[in-house]
Structures are given as C-alpha cells and as structure tokens.
Amino acid sequence: MSDESWLRTGIGASDADSITLMGRDLATELMGRVTFTEVAFLLVRGRTPSPQETRLLDAVLVSLADHGLTPTVLAARLTHTGAPESIQGAIAAGLLGAGSVFLGVVEDTARFLEELLEEAAPDGSEARLRQAAARAVGERLAAGRRIPGLGHPVHKVEDPRTPRIYAIAEETGQLGAHLRLLRLVGEVHRERAGRRLPINGAGVAGAALADLGFPVELLRGAALLARTAGLLGHLAEETRSPLGMPLYREIEERAVYEPPEAGDG
Amino acid sequence: MSDESWLRTGIGASDADSITLMGRDLATELMGRVTFTEVAFLLVRGRTPSPQETRLLDAVLVSLADHGLTPTVLAARLTHTGAPESIQGAIAAGLLGAGSVFLGVVEDTARFLEELLEEAAPDGSEARLRQAAARAVGERLAAGRRIPGLGHPVHKVEDPRTPRIYAIAEETGQLGAHLRLLRLVGEVHRERAGRRLPINGAGVAGAALADLGFPVELLRGAALLARTAGLLGHLAEETRSPLGMPLYREIEERAVYEPPEAGDG
Amino acid sequence: MSDESWLRTGIGASDADSITLMGRDLATELMGRVTFTEVAFLLVRGRTPSPQETRLLDAVLVSLADHGLTPTVLAARLTHTGAPESIQGAIAAGLLGAGSVFLGVVEDTARFLEELLEEAAPDGSEARLRQAAARAVGERLAAGRRIPGLGHPVHKVEDPRTPRIYAIAEETGQLGAHLRLLRLVGEVHRERAGRRLPINGAGVAGAALADLGFPVELLRGAALLARTAGLLGHLAEETRSPLGMPLYREIEERAVYEPPEAGDG
Amino acid sequence: MSDESWLRTGIGASDADSITLMGRDLATELMGRVTFTEVAFLLVRGRTPSPQETRLLDAVLVSLADHGLTPTVLAARLTHTGAPESIQGAIAAGLLGAGSVFLGVVEDTARFLEELLEEAAPDGSEARLRQAAARAVGERLAAGRRIPGLGHPVHKVEDPRTPRIYAIAEETGQLGAHLRLLRLVGEVHRERAGRRLPINGAGVAGAALADLGFPVELLRGAALLARTAGLLGHLAEETRSPLGMPLYREIEERAVYEPPEAGDG
C-alpha cells in the first residue's frame, strides 16, 4: 500500500467550492465554453480540439448515431419492455451487442490501417503505403477474406457517409494518414479484384477517429457514445409507440415449437 | 399481423443511396451541418434545437459528464480489468449503477417539479407556484424527507454548476418553468428550514433538461449520454494506468475473511 | 481507514493450499458433497439446506428457468447476433429486462405477502391472516388494482406450476406462511370478485422462495439464477439455429419508415 | 416471410393448460423430478444427464461459484450501491467482466484441448495425444507463451479443486478425453520445463465441461451460471454489510488528482 501511484486520476476531482475536469475548472472554463463533443475529445485525448477537429468529430459522431432497427436497438427496446423503470438497463442492453459483427468494423478497420501504417513506416511515402496496401489486399483476396472497411450489404455502390466524411476532412485539413490509406486500399482493391466495393461508413468513421488520435482500443467506445444518442431516440419512440411488446406477442404466436429429438445435442 | 402500426419507426431508415435520420438526409442535411449535441436533441425531441437550446443542452451535458471515481466508474474500470477486449461491457457496467442513489436525483428533481407545476396549473402564476412549493416543502420538512435537488455532500454552500446553468439559461432566454420553480423551492426551503441548502448540480440539470422538453422518463437517459463520455475518459486512463487490477489486489490483501456463523441468515 | 469492518467478507477466501466458501472447505466439504442448488442456498442463507428445502428450491428454480421466447430471451439472442464472442454480454442483456413487467411478479408477490404477514402478526392466526387478506384484496378490487400473484394471460384457469409447487411444499413439510397466505388471498379474491383467478407460477415461486428464507430484495436475483440456465439453453440454440439475424432482417424489411412531423415531440 | 424455419424453437412453449420445456412437461416431468443442475444440462445438451454426469456437473458448478472479492464481484457490489432497486443490473455488471482475463481460462483451456484432440484424431491413442501435447507445449514454451490451464497466482503447488474434480470424474466413470489430455499436458510441461505448474481449477473445469459435452463457445456461459450463484451471495452480503459505499468513499479520499499535462494524449 506504500505505492499509491495507481490511485492517481487526471479525469475529475472536486472540493467544497469547485469541480475540476481534465485540469480545467468545470464551471468557469468548460460549461458554456466548450460543446459536449469538445469535452468528449478532451476526455479521451487530454486536450481540447481545434475547431477543425471538432467539426470532423461531430460529423463522425452524427454519422454513427443510428442505423435503424438493428439487433442492438431491438435488444434495448425489448429490455425496456420488461424493465421500463430501469432505463440504464435498456441502454446497457443496447450497447452490449456492439461486438465483432455490429460496430466492430469501426475498430477492425482502424486496426488494419494502423498495422499497414507501421509496416510502411518510417518512410510513410505514398509509394510505400500503396505497396503495403497492395500486399495486404492481395493476401486477403487470395485467402478469400474480407477487407476491413470495404463493402456494405445495402449501399452496394456508394455509402453516402463516405464522401461526406472525406469532404469534411479535406475541407478542415484533417485528412490524415488513416483516411488517406483507406482510400488507397479501396483503389488497390478495385484494381486487383476488378470490381468496386464502396468504402463503408463504419470503416471511414474508424479511420477518421484514428486520425483524430483516438486510441484503437477505444474506437468502439467512441462509436458507442454516438450510439447512446441513437438509443435515446429509440427509447423515446418506444415510450410513445411501443414495439417491444407487440414484437414479443407476434413472435410468440408465430413461433413453432419443435422439441429436441431424444439424445439431441 | 394485419395491423402493423407498431412496426413504424421515425428514427432511421436507409436504402441503396441514402440514409435518413429523423426525416433528414443524414449525409447532406445533418453531417457537417449539425453538432452531435443537436442530433441528440433531434433524436429525443423530433426537431432540431435553436442555438440557445443547444447552448444550454451542451452546458448541461458537459456538467454531467464526470464526477470522479464514483461507484459506477469503478465498476466500469473493474469490468475492463476482466474483459478488456469487450469495451461495450465495461461501458454498460458503468451505466448500470445509475439508479436511485447515483444520478437518480436528475430524474427525481424533474419529476418533483413536474408534479408541482401540474398542481399550480392552469394558472401557473408566481404566486400559485410559490404556494405549491410551500406546501410540498412544508410536508417534506415535517416528514423529515429530502427535498429533491437540494443539498450536496461536498458542495455544502454552493454547487458551482448551479449558478453557471442559471446564468446560461437566463442569457439564452431558456429559463423555463422547471428552473424557475426549482429556485423558488430553494428559497421557500431556506425560509422554512432556517438554513440554506444549495441547489445541487444534478437537480439543476434535471430542471434544465425538463425545460428543454426532455420527457421525465428519459432524463436519466440523457444524463447517461453525458456519462458515457466520462466513462470513455476513464477507460482511456485505465488503458494507460490501470486502477482495476491494483485495486483488486489491495482489496484481496486487506479483506478479512469472517465465515458466517452456523445457522446465520 | 482505521475502521476496516466494511472490508470483511464471509463468502469466500483462499490461500496457497485451500479455498473456503461460506466457512466450508470448498474441495473437501462442498465439491462432490453438495449440489449446485445447495450451494446457492448456502450462499444466500448462510447454512446448507435440509433435503426438504433443497427439493422445494430445486422445483422452484426448475419452474422459473424458461418461459419461451420472452422479450429478455429475444434481447439475449439479438445481442449474441452482434457480439457472439462476448457471451457474458448476451447473458447480461438477457437479465436486464427482468424488471417491473417481467419477473417482477416474483418479488412483488413476496413483498405483498410479507406486508400482510406483518400486519397480521404477532398473532398470525388463520383468522387474522384471512382478515388482512380480505382487507388488502377489498382495497385493491375497489381501486381496480391487480392482486400480486393472481392471474395469467395464458393460463386462465390454472397455472400448471402452482399445484405442483403446493404439492411439493406439502409433501416436504415446507408449506410456510407465505404459501399459505397466498392460497388464502386467492380464495378471498374468488369470494369477493365472484370469479376465479389462478395463482400464477411467478407468484407461487415468490411465496415459496420467501418461505425458504430468501430475503425479499434478493428474490428477483434467485429468479435470475434460474433464468440464466434458460438463457444458456437459448444461446446454445442460437449457435445451432440463429434467430437473431433473420429476425433483424425481417424487421428491417417490414418496418415502415414514417418520419416525425416537423415540430414533433 | 414464407420460410419461417428460423422461428422454430425447441426450448420452451406453453398453452392454456401446460408448459413444455425441452420436450418435457414442465410440471409433471421436470418439477420435483429433476434438479436445477439436471435442467441446466438438459437445456444445453438436449437430454437429461446420467446420475454420474450430474455428479460431475454439480462438482464443477460448485467449484466455479465464487472466487472471493474479484473485480467482477466488486463491480456487482458497486453497481448495487448506485442502483439497489435494480438487482438485475448488479448481477449483469458482475457478469460483464468475465472475459479474457477473468474466467476466460475455462474456455481457453477447453479450446486448446479441443484443437489438440482434433490434431490427434482419428487415432486418438495415448501416444498420439502425448505427441500432440508435446508439440503444443514445446512451441508455447519456446515462444514464452502460457499453457492454458496450467499455473495459478495463489495455488502455486496444487489447486485444491483439481485433484477433487479428477477424483470425482474417475469415480463416476466420467474421465473423458479432455480431462485425460489436460493431465498429459501437465506432465509433458513438467518434463520439458523442468518445473511443475499445477493444473488450475478453471482449466480443469473447462476440460470437465467439455467432457460433459458442453460446446466450447458456451463454456464461459456455464461458468457464468455458477458465478451467478456467487453473485447472489455477495449481493446478500452487500445488503447486510455494505462494501460498495465505504470503498467508494475511501477511494475518493485517497485518490490523488493529477491533471493531465497540456497537450497530453
């Protein structure tokens, strides 16, 4: 117990008269002076963002806030059906499905790009990047594996979020290494595969967040911040026009009971 | 199954070329045009906020983002210790403790004010409000019950968030019925109890969110959106300087094992 | 820090050679000697159960393990769809909907009975119990409120679990005050209302758990232990024949997008 | 919607008069006839276990029920501190940390053994198994990687659960391929490494569950069923003698606030 260095925190503290957040006085330096998006950046990066970084981060969070009645949204609304008094439980249930299948693309793409960037370093020239991209794409095509960040089940030609993020990143001077490399990966893939897969919105969000300096192991967390706003919208709708209970009733009516065979399993 | 009205949603939809969120085209009308805070408002309220509303909402979300190493933050960091690969689980664990003891004040205060406002309606004059407040405060004092939104274990004289929210609300013309009534409740309490309890930051946040038109049953959800940003900060810190594992080790070392007595329970 | 009495635990401890659980040596006194059900009882009650108590507790847990494709089961399976690698998240999501609407009846019934028992104490005679039941049922009928533990949407005449639990409780000499009172409540209701509502399986489980000495505030927890086994079964089925993904796809196809009206909310 | 094969379930169903679970009538064939452990086996495996299988499964579940004040238990108790009214949230929080660091060993060991068994198949002779074990252990020792199932931070010489599980498995004729192979892995490791690492309780539990036919991807789920009983015990203790609130207060007092440096992150 002599070494208490593990019990240091830089996030928040308070005493009788003041509250401090990330080294700033909450009431006088942050409230009314920075937006919620800027505070989220501050919390993760340890400094406030430039207006250009804020603009890109806002666009990314807005792009990730909702994707309709996804499995995670359905899980949240069904949880609200059973425990409407515990809204924290409904939101938590709506986050828990953000794993390898849903939202994982955000993180997977950033991780994939990070590795290629390390491979191409210290040079990092366009040529080296293209070379690394070509190698990785080639290997994955040969192995029949997906390229993280490419392809979308609905937006088969173009994901509308992608050109928008690129436009905002360019306009704000925030087109960093990850976003540039992802575009290169898309080009290389098209050349190799002979067909065009769009860069998807989750992948481009992952690349943009990585360019904004969010650590890869937290990227899914940033996506979940965005998704929490979407869940609020769905839970507001659920209280106005319930979907969970009629969905359950319909499932119960339609479901066919087929007992397991003896010795099954 | 003929009536499918329950399967209508106004939150989000997408087709091959476009994504719609709350009736707006995501890429062209929202991304790069509204902030994340504005989208959160849109998702809950069904319309975009005025700049004044956005300013107040941003201040409220910033004020709620973090309260240091609270039980919920510790739960999130300890969960990350066991399952660092499932950041969604750590965030979910960090939200689940937002119940009657922690964060509940946000909702409780708004609910208390809402009931007084209904009681004072349809008139709603200052006199009627003061009367309703006097009755409620008197009853609670007599019963030895807490007044929602008053008092704080650390900020015994003044919660620094409170005057800041009131200043921003006044400056933006957003000082609504809930915020005005909460101030009245504080005054009435001081007169009756003969001592001053500060209006706390959670209570004022609840009143401000109610004035912004957030439904009472979702207020804790809005607080959880703010808190998710704080959790991201703590999880970023946890990956840099772990607190969960040394905390567990210390607890294990210090804990005294005292077996239950026979027949206990 | 001088008073560390809060850092005492009687649940478990271990050193280099042994592991202790509730004051027993895990390897030599518990493993192979008591069943999992007995250990659950020991953990909550602080002593091992009699064979009769075990028999009743097993029957109650078995009766609560599953109720088909309920909202909570659907939430678990949909969460598994998004994050199959985090089975802890799917199980957690499947527990979070156990609130006031689903599974709450177990706890509500026990709480209702507990209050009536206190009211009828210290006498506790059949006459006093019947009187307390008559008063409570009368009040609730007059107010149009439900009687906890009575009625079931599917089992309109008789819930098959109810006579079975009563038979096992009688046969094992475990027909305690809660179970007896619940039967009385059913009788009184029938006399007063002029129609028969069956005692439901959740209510009878709550009464039986209370008779077994489980504290009311943990009853829902005991039901969740049972439900975790059911969730395991559903997740096993989900890995063999997925329901989450096709359900999501169908919902997405059928859902009608109806944008919110301007100024809505 | 024409193909509804995905909406078949074999777990549970009910109609006005009866409830069916895994093809059995719940009230007459299961309640009072099988234990909760047997129902858990039935739910996962699709058939009821033999008395020998039940005995082994009970011993495994008992062995996994609790490990003291682990990070996941602390997360559950701290969540209860904030939201005591939502016990489902406290239990869920206590499960969410069961990931790669805690409880992951159960699954990792089974997966490791499963791969070796496939490698040694179709022969599966002792000689082939030893060969496969030797190769895998050699590779991992060379790479400085851990051998799943070997070693324990506290039980450095012998984990008391291990010989007990082996004794029960032998006594009941349930010493299957996974348990035998794990013992072989321990022997091979001792020969190669020149020192003895004990087979740990989590690893032996994973091997036993795999021998009982639990699918590898559900093993952690079975461990979580056991852990839910332990969490109930801790939450019962938390309601009697709170640990969460004093722990939070102490942390808050001891924590040193060290603001992030400008430009940090």
CB contact under 8 A, D14 and C68: yes
The predicted pLDDT at position C265 comes to 42
Residue D22 has pLDDT above 90, yes or no: yes
Identify which of B57, B17, B65 has the alpha carbon closest to the alpha carbon of residue B34: B57
Identify which of B43, B101, B103, B55 has the alpha carbon closest to the alpha carbon of residue B228: B103
The predicted pLDDT at position D109 comes to 97
Report chain B residues whose CB lies below 8 A from the CB of A87: 217-218, 220-221, 224
Residue B263 has pLDDT above 60, yes or no: no
Residue D146 CA to residue D100 CA, distance in Å, equals 13
Tell me how long chain A is. 265
CB A203 within 8 A of CB A105: yes
According to DSSP, the β-strands at D8-9 and C256-257 are unpaired
Report chain B residues whose CB lies below 8 A from the CB of A217: 84, 87, 239
Nearest to A256 among D8, D254, D262 (CB): D8
Mean pLDDT of chain A: 94
Report chain A residues whose CB lies below 8 A from the CB of C85: 99-100
| pLDDT tens, residue by residue, A19-56 | 999 999 999 999 999 999 999 999 999 999 999 999 99
Q: Tell me, rounded to whole angstroms, the distance of Cα A17 from its chain centroid.
A: 37
Residue D161 CA to residue A45 CA, distance in Å, equals 45
Residue of B nearest to C91 (CA): B89
User: Could you tell me if A127 lies within 8 Å of chain B, comparing CB atoms?
Assistant: no
Percent of chain D whose predicted confidence (pLDDT) is above 70: 98
Residue C264 has pLDDT above 50, yes or no: no
Report chain A residues whose CB lies below 8 A from the CB of D218: none
Residue type, C132: A
| pLDDT tens, residue by residue, B135-170 | 999 999 999 999 999 999 899 999 999 999 999 999
The predicted pLDDT at position A265 comes to 42
| pLDDT tens, residue by residue, A92-104 | 999 999 998 888 8
Residue C10 has pLDDT above 70, yes or no: yes
Residue D163 has pLDDT above 90, yes or no: yes
D103 pLDDT band, cuts 50/70/90, is: confident
Beta carbon pairs, C and D, within 8 Å: 296
Q: Cβ-count burial of A124 within 10 angstroms (0-12 exposed, 13-18 middle, 19+ buried)?
A: middle
The predicted pLDDT at position D263 comes to 52
CB contact under 8 A, B7 and C47: no
D121 pLDDT band, cuts 50/70/90, is: confident
Report chain D residues whose CB lies below 8 A from the CB of B83: 96-102
Residue A1 has pLDDT above 60, yes or no: no
Report chain C residues whose CB lies below 8 A from the CB of D44: 232-233, 236
Residue of B nearest to D240 (CA): B265
Residue C14 has pLDDT above 80, yes or no: yes
Percent of chain B whose predicted confidence (pLDDT) is above 70: 98
Asked if the peptide bond before residue A153 counts as cis, ω within 30 degrees of 0, the response is no
The predicted pLDDT at position B123 comes to 78
Mean pLDDT of chain B: 94
| pLDDT tens, residue by residue, A163-186 | 999 999 999 999 999 999 999 999
User: Could you tell me if A12 lies within 8 Å of chain B, comparing CB atoms?
Assistant: yes
Residue A247 CA to residue D15 CA, distance in Å, equals 19
Report chain C residues whose CB lies below 8 A from the CB of D9: 68-69, 234, 237, 243
At D44, list the tokens. 């996962």
The predicted pLDDT at position C91 comes to 98
Report chain A residues whose CB lies below 8 A from the CB of D15: none
Q: Mean pLDDT across the stretch B107-134?
A: 90
Identify which of B208, B20, B197, B32 has the alpha carbon closest to the alpha carbon of residue B113: B208
H helix count then E strand count, chain B: 11, 5
User: ∠ at Cα D61 (C162, C87), nearest 5°?
Assistant: 90
Q: Comparing C264 with A115, which gets the higher pLDDT?
A: A115
Distance to chain C for B114, nearest Cα, Å: 17
Distance to chain A for D230, nearest Cα, Å: 21
User: Could you tell me if A141 lies within 8 Å of chain B, comparing CB atoms?
Assistant: no
Nearest to D36 among C6, C37, C237 (CB): C37
Q: Mean pLDDT across the stretch C83-110?
A: 94
Model ipTM?
A: 0.96
For testing contact with chain D, the best of C3, C31, C225, C231 (most D CBs within 10 A): C31
**What is each CA distance from C223 to C58, C64, C190, in whole angstroms?**
12, 6, 28
| pLDDT tens, residue by residue, B248-260 | 999 999 999 998 8
Mean pLDDT of chain C: 94
Identify which of B95, B105, B60, B97 has the alpha carbon closest to the alpha carbon of residue B235: B95
User: Could you tell me if D10 lies within 8 Å of chain A, comparing CB atoms?
Assistant: yes
The predicted pLDDT at position B103 comes to 84
**What DSSP string describes D235-265?**
HHHHHHS--HHHHHHHHHHHPEE-PPPTT--
Coil/strand/helix, residue B250: helix
Report chain C residues whose CB lies below 8 A from the CB of A75: 74-76, 78-79, 93
At C260, list the tokens. 């919110």
Instruction: Name residues whose C-beta falls within 8 Å of residue A127's C-beta, 6 or more positions apart in sequence.
Output: none
CB C34 within 8 A of CB D168: no
Percent of chain A whose predicted confidence (pLDDT) is above 90: 88
Residue C4 has pLDDT above 90, yes or no: no
The predicted pLDDT at position B265 comes to 42
Nearest to B82 among D84, D98, D245 (CB): D98
Residue D252 CA to residue D265 CA, distance in Å, equals 24
Nearest to C221 among D55, D218, D232 (CB): D232
| pLDDT tens, residue by residue, B44-78 | 999 999 999 999 999 999 999 999 999 999 999 99
CB C168 within 8 A of CB C56: yes
Residue A263 has pLDDT above 60, yes or no: no
Identify the chains in contact with B, defined as 3+ C-beta pairs within 8 A: A, C, D
Percent of chain C whose predicted confidence (pLDDT) is above 70: 98
Distance to chain D for B106, nearest Cα, Å: 14
Residue A116 CA to residue A134 CA, distance in Å, equals 10
Mean pLDDT of chain D: 94
The predicted pLDDT at position B264 comes to 44
Q: Mean pLDDT across the stretch A223-240?
A: 97
Residue B223 has pLDDT above 60, yes or no: yes
According to DSSP, the β-strands at B8-9 and C256-257 are parallel
Residue B229 has pLDDT above 60, yes or no: yes
At D24, list the tokens. 């059995």
User: Which DSSP category does B199 fall into?
Assistant: B
User: Could you tell me if C74 lies within 8 Å of chain A, comparing CB atoms?
Assistant: yes
| pLDDT tens, residue by residue, D190-200 | 999 999 999 99
Nearest to A93 among C79, C81, C252 (CB): C79
Residue D82 has pLDDT above 90, yes or no: yes
The predicted pLDDT at position B262 comes to 59
User: Could you tell me if C40 lies within 8 Å of chain A, comparing CB atoms?
Assistant: no
At D49, list the tokens. 């276990």
Residue of A nearest to D262 (CA): A47
Nearest to B19 among A30, A161, A236 (CB): A161
